[in-house]
Amino acid sequence: MKLELGYVPINNIQFGQETCITGTALHVNADELATILREDERITSLEVDIARPGEEVRIIPVKDVIEPRVKVEGKGGIFPGFMSKVDTVGSGKTLVLKGAAVVTCGSIVGFQEGIIDMTGPGAEYTPYSKTCNLVLNITVKDDIERHEKEECIRLAGLKAAKYLGEAAKEAVPSYVETYETPSLIEGHEIYKDLPRVAYVYQLQSQGLLHDTYVYGVDAKRILPTFIYPTEVMDGAIVSGNCVSACDKNTTYAHMNNPIIKELYSRHGRDINFVGVILTNENVTLADKERSSEFTSKLVEFLDLDGVIISEEGFGNPDTDLIMNCRKIEEKGIRTVLVTDEYAGRDGASQSLADAHSLANAVVTSGNANEVIVLPPMKKIIGNHEAANVIAGGFNGSLKEDGSIEAEIQVITGATSELGFTKLSAVGY
């Protein structure tokens, strides 16, 4: 399967009479967009705002971040199962509004949503301080269940990203990247002298607003399956979870998964990147055993030499991470794990909730319990009081001067277990 990503650079975003791209500026008709989103009668109020890199702006509480893209050639459309039919995506041509993002903001569960600062020390911990953000501050009806509130805000974000993506449909990209994965048999013949490597992609699926969607299906309903890496780039995986902000995989992070991109950069050179194995992170022991058995069986069936395994979340999902690692290693197949740590504010506590001697190659994206002070911002988009209740914050995190003292756990993407961050840690 072959996918061409054409990048249309966006260095500014502003409101205008027409939604279009002029040079590197994205103009947005906020009224037109709001009218489209308000078709969902569960929305009671909607504010469309803008946050640009370097501005003294804080967005809180953040739900998701989504990159606008549009398919211009090939099967299916962006976000299959939600915004387009359930066709297999990942081939043809897709245009990317690189530098632009949709950020959804609005309280759903309170304690597991995040913060994006567009400047200051907090901005250094999140990749979304570098994007030009169209922010949707959404309030939904009080008399609906929380999972329905989450769905409402999730769909609004996807609709907005699709709407912005359409503005690039006739654009000429400044550069194009091509990603291609041959079939298993073809790949084996072409790269027969290279080690066969795949990516085991754990998706948050613990339920109770800890959900991820694959082609519109809740990942806890799937058995581990095998997909082309390029399907992920076309929005086949959508975030629907409210886990701790620091290691929540946003939809934007899925679409730009750096593990997939790094494996592609090595493909045909020193590895044969065979593809992606999707698995889940459920809550019962039986579900964990079932999924890890199917995952290790797929790894063996594909005759792999090694895998990279990434996690989403912490605590309960650590068991899935170690279980997958152990069962795959016991088949003689090498693993590398990507995770973050919750080692206490002094870094002296046990980093993961589970461990095994076979988990001896681990990449860490840092300690989420590290404490940071976020200075006051001139503009707040959303609800500042959420700082006192979101995971990593505490009663009194929000100070009278508008500063916030909290763990970096509150910052969206700070310890991304996809490596979509600048943070890591080293052992001594």
User: Catalytic positions, please?
Assistant: 242
CA gap 255, 86 in Å, rounded: 17
CA gap 63, 84 in Å, rounded: 22
The shares of helix, strand and coil residues in the chain, as percent rounded to the nearest 5, are 25, 35, 40
Beta strands 306-310 and 225-227, pairing class: unpaired
With H, G, I as helix, E, B as strand and everything else as coil, classify residue 215: coil
CB 81, CB 215: distance < 8 Å? yes
The two tokens of residue 404 are 């916030």
The two tokens of residue 247 are 């290691």
CA gap 101, 160 in Å, rounded: 10
b (16+ CB within 10 A) / e for 14-53 = eeeeebebeeeebbbbbeebeeebeebebbeebebbbbbb
CB 391, CB 409: distance < 8 Å? yes
> Cα dist. 362→267, 345, 352, 387, 424 in Å?
21, 21, 12, 32, 11
DSSP code, position 121 = G
CB 324, CB 352: distance < 8 Å? no
CB 406, CB 393: distance < 8 Å? yes
Return all residues near 316 (Cβ < 8 A) that are at least 6 apart.
206, 281, 283, 353
H or E element: which one contains 281?
strand 272-281
